[in-house]
Amino acid sequence: MLHGEDARRIVTDDYRYPQSLVSLPVVPDRVADSGSAEPHEQHAPTNVPSESPSPGSVADDPTRFVHQKLIEGKVIETLRQIYDPEIPVDIYELGLIYGITVNADDTVHIRMTLTAPACPVAGSLPGEVERKVEAIPEVKSATVELVWEPPWSRDRMSEAALLQLGML
């Protein structure tokens, strides 16, 4: 069992399940002057910008964060229905998705790669991803950024994908 500073560090770090539909940060308790003998540090969440919040931001409406995470979950669910035609695994489990950003205006930005630069679906797969994500009713628009760094490797595949391909 962890005590003191070790326990506080774990609780305040951003905690994620890599294969879950929605990953939520663990938010540290805000401690008012409670007269506790042990000092409490204030940790800034790692996923919140340090600038002052803009109108319509999560700070103005705490339910906005939940709304954005729900959209992110629907995007992931959609990505799990898109397959690389050469590999019988969906592109999310294959590790081709490097990042999903849901903006305050419900637009979605996806950073993805392909298994190789000369991949035969290089011209069609990003467009398919964009169209299918835009078909989600809550998404106003979607953009897909095709990136090559870091290069895709088998290490990016989920355990489920490795199992499905008999590589585990």
Nearest of 135, 136, 141 to residue 108 by alpha carbon: 141
DSSP code per residue over 38-80: S-------TTS-SSPPPTTSTTT-THHHHHHHHHHHHHHHHHT
Which contiguous run of DSSP H or E holds residue 127?
A: helix 125-134
Question: Over the chain, what is the mean pLDDT?
Answer: 75
Average pLDDT over residues 134-162: 94
Q: Kindly state which CATH superfamily the domain 58-168 is placed in.
A: Fe-S cluster assembly (FSCA) (3.30.300.130)
CA–CA dist 139, 43 (Å, integer): 32
pTM of the model: 0.64
Domain residue extents for the chain: 58-168
Task: Say whether pLDDT at 54 is over 50.
Answer: no
pLDDT range class, residue 75, cuts 50, 70, 90? very high
At 7-27, the pLDDT tens digits run 444 444 444 444 444 444 444
